[in-house]
Structure 1
Amino acid sequence: MRDHDGPLPLPDQVVLGEAPVVDDPADVTPAWLTEALRAGGTDVVVSELRYERIGTGLLGASYRFHLVAHAGPGAVAPASVVVKMAAGSEQAREVVKLGYQTEIGFYRTFAAQTRIRRPRCWSAGISADLRDFTLVLEDAHPALPGRQTDGCTAGQAAAAVRNLAGLHAPFWNRHDLADGVDWLRGPDDARLEFLAQVHAQGTSAFVERFGAALSPEDADTLRRASDLLAGWAPHVRDRVSLIHGDYRLDNLLFAGDDPTVVDWQSLELGLPGRDLAYFLATALPPAARRAHERSLVAAYHRRLTELGVDDYPLELCFHDYRVGVPQAPLLIVLGCVYAPGGQSADSDAMFLSMAANACAAIRDLGTLDLLSATP
């Protein structure tokens, strides 16, 4: 595993452009991509391209474009880029358009300030009605996406949590971060109470849908966690930063142990421990998590300290990790029950794996008792 004692390397991103929004990969022509790359600071002329669909995103579609391009003086032409755009029906897009706006907003507003590995972005455009967007991103190939059902190694988990600190540290306790940024959701009580209501309905549907595939113990844990989510707000609003919101293996591209983070549609202002807990509770099977979680939380905390967060004791960090675990059942249920996209054997296996791991973490960490107490 790479030594991360120094600053995390970032892609060179001096300029961010905004090429015209397209809604079909066939509309990405050599001229269009030339404009997008030049707007983003790379002097190239694309003469030929071909593309293929990659990934299985529910809220968008991603394509790898292989390029024949000629670079100007001092420039380096990428051999390939990833173009991400909206997907699904107009009704589905209306439901998830805030996610589209959020991802575009991340690359336009916050990406350059982070210390987390994320793709370089050449162009980030969105339509006036927010139903169509186009991103031109660095291709992380040959890095491979993680798989929830496979889990990850302790080394990959350590690299992932240290990388996560590179998102949280630059914005630590910036309660004013959403001022003037109307798309950035925050930890207000009304929103969290609404999520709790939606989650309660979704939990009943989730437990009914999977039936015997869920153990009785896990079904009970999901129901009890849902009941307590309405009172989550006082526990998660004292410390805030930008949080990814969906920091899980399927949204990380690994080159060895080192991850690049994609899919920023769930970005919000919230308790950093929610990201940390969601990742560790779902990425590692229970036995591995029990063996390594203390050292992994310490690795995350150590990286925060290296990046300048000096008023956050390790004990408080572990407390926030325990408090943040309900992020796992929240995202699992909402993603399974409400996200657009059809049911499949692969998605069912993923959600069941995540639910089993998350429920074990909730019980092991005593999170339900912690949330039952007055914060």
Structure 2
Amino acid sequence: MRVIDTAAGLTPEALGEVLGVPVTAVRREKIGSGQIGACYRLRLDCADGARRRLVAKLAAEDEGARSFLWPVYRAEVAFYRDLAATVKVRTPRCHYGAISADHTSFVLLLDDLHPAVQGDQLAGCAPDRAAAAVANLAGLHGPRWCDPALLDVPWLKPVGAEDAARLGEVFGPAVGTFVERFAGRLDDRDVRTLRETADAIAAWVVGRPDVFGLVHGDYRLDNLLFGDDGRVTAVDWQTIGLGHPLRDLAYFLGTSLPPDVRAARERDLVGVYHAELERHGVTGYDLDACFEDYRFAALQGPLITVLGCAYGTPTERGDRMFLAMAARSCAAIRALGTLDLV
């Protein structure tokens, strides 16, 4: 399948070929920060007079970055190719996807969901929006809950003991760097919680293996689009993997809601999620078990926050976002007694 390697390749001829519709003109606008890849909003004029709006996702412009980022490119293309049709989570429709043999170049042509509005990780969200988001999340988890066929998907790999040990070796120093970088801006309680999380992370990441499924990995407000009709759509599937599904739920609630709001509403919100799991066919998993797994899963918050900070390009907004996510998720870990469960 044809891979469009750069923005210059988004020509009427190339797009017409891959879409199977003659295209007479293309206008493109770069969107996003471009840290992981390059995204463009496309407006297409077609030979039949129709106009189409799409978003094109391509590999990073930096060739060196591509050689490092290829696993996330493979994951996102494979998600749309192999998994999206088997789950009920709302995602943009994928009109075309292709990736090179070495996985360093790819193209995805997705629906442009304008005028849906991106969530704001810094601002957080109201409980009604959180309820819509967790209901959508259950559409990812429920249909493939504990599905043994997932273990046979060649590009999905559950975390094993060696992976867990390596994560522990990487995460501890990353926490140290995070604490140093934000010295004076982190609450002392959060510093202690981060260091205790680093000590526990290797055991945690392989904990409770009897429940497993698809995990988005970075299900947070900046990766969600909210429509006028209240519907939520999840984007950015580069971190899709196998693990305990409640990691996504704990990460979303722990980083998206101010601690007082989370504490007041989290049982209701976990209840919304659990009811949706049952609607998608999950049985033998009661609400009490779900809430206990939610408590256990809360270490996902500092894990993704610290690693995202370590490997992302520093920006002023990014720093404020990571600080807010760390503070919120550390407060959740303490309130939920998560470290006592590892």
Q: TM-score range by the shorter chain?
A: over 0.9
SS at match of 1:53: strand
Contact 1:30 1:46 in 2 (8 A): yes
Q: Write the letter of the residue equivalent to 1:348.
A: D
Distance in 2, matches of 1:307 and 1:103, equals 23
SS at match of 1:213: coil
SS at match of 2:331: helix
Distance in 1, matches of 2:205 and 2:314, equals 31
Q: Write the letter of the residue equivalent to 2:53.
A: S
Does 1:369 pair with 2:336?
no
Does 1:352 pair with 2:323?
yes
Distance in 1, matches of 2:110 and 2:329, equals 32
Does 1:254 pair with 2:226?
yes
Contact 1:98 1:183 in 2 (8 A): no
Residue in 1 that maps onto 2:59: 86
SS at match of 1:276: helix
Contact 2:296 2:341 in 1 (8 A): yes
Distance in 2, matches of 1:273 and 1:78, equals 41
Distance in 1, matches of 2:271 and 2:285, equals 12
Structure 1 residue 249, shift from structure 2 partner = 0.6
SS at match of 1:324: helix
Deviation per CA, 1:9-55: give whole Å up to 9, x if none. xxxxxxxxx4x2122212101111112222xxxxx321111111112
Q: Which runs of 5 or more residues in structure 1 are unaligned?
A: 1-17, 39-43
Residue in 1 that maps onto 2:105: 132
Map of 1:163-182 to 2, 5 A cutoff?
163-179=136-152, 181-182=153-154
Structure 1 residue 88, shift from structure 2 partner = 4.4
Structure 1 residue 59, shift from structure 2 partner = 1.3
Aligned in 2, Cα 1:34/1:62: closer, same or farther, shift over 3 Å?
same
Contact 1:189 1:233 in 2 (8 A): no
TM norm structure 2: 0.96
Distance in 2, matches of 1:162 and 1:189, equals 32
Q: Write the letter of the residue equivalent to 1:152.
A: C
Residue in 2 that maps onto 1:7: none
SS at match of 2:57: strand
Does 1:212 pair with 2:180?
no
Q: Write the letter of the residue equivalent to 1:240.
A: F
Residue in 2 that maps onto 1:197: 169
RMSD of the TM alignment (CA)?
1.5
Distance in 1, matches of 2:160 and 2:331, equals 28
Residue in 2 that maps onto 1:281: 254
Distance in 2, matches of 1:219 and 1:337, equals 16
Q: Write the letter of the residue equivalent to 1:47.
A: T
Structure 1, 189-198 or 122-131: larger mean CA deviation: 189-198
Match of 2:76 among 87, 92, 103: 103
Distance in 1, matches of 2:48 and 2:213, equals 39
SS at match of 1:183: coil
Identical aligned residues as a percent: 48
SS at match of 2:184: helix
Contact 1:332 1:351 in 2 (8 A): yes
Residue in 1 that maps onto 2:298: 325
Q: Which has the higher helix share?
A: 2
Aligned in 2, Cα 1:276/1:57: closer, same or farther, shift over 3 Å?
farther
TM norm structure 1: 0.88
Does 1:45 pair with 2:17?
no
Distance in 2, matches of 1:335 and 1:235, equals 22
Aligned in 2, Cα 1:78/1:224: closer, same or farther, shift over 3 Å?
farther
Residue in 2 that maps onto 1:145: 118
Contact 1:301 1:314 in 2 (8 A): yes
Structure 1 residue 70, shift from structure 2 partner = 3.9
Structure 1 residue 89, shift from structure 2 partner = 2.6
Distance in 1, matches of 2:199 and 2:242, equals 23
Does 1:263 pair with 2:247?
no
Distance in 2, matches of 1:156 and 1:349, equals 22
Residue in 1 that maps onto 2:196: 224
Structure 1, 301-310 or 226-235: larger mean CA deviation: 226-235
Residue in 2 that maps onto 1:335: 308
Deviation per CA, 1:149-180: give whole Å up to 9, x if none. 0111111100000000001111110234131x
Aligned length: 341
SS at match of 1:122: strand
Deviating runs (4+, > 3 A) in structure 1? none
Deviation per CA, 1:219-251: give whole Å up to 9, x if none. 111111111112114424220111111111111
SS at match of 1:296: helix
Residue in 2 that maps onto 1:156: 129
Residue in 1 that maps onto 2:35: 58
Does 1:25 pair with 2:2?
no
Residue in 2 that maps onto 1:4: none
Q: Write the letter of the residue equivalent to 1:208.
A: E
Distance in 2, matches of 1:105 and 1:355, equals 30
Aligned in 2, Cα 1:255/1:36: closer, same or farther, shift over 3 Å?
same
Contact 1:187 1:236 in 2 (8 A): no
Distance in 2, matches of 1:355 and 1:233, equals 18
Structure 1 residue 78, shift from structure 2 partner = 5.4
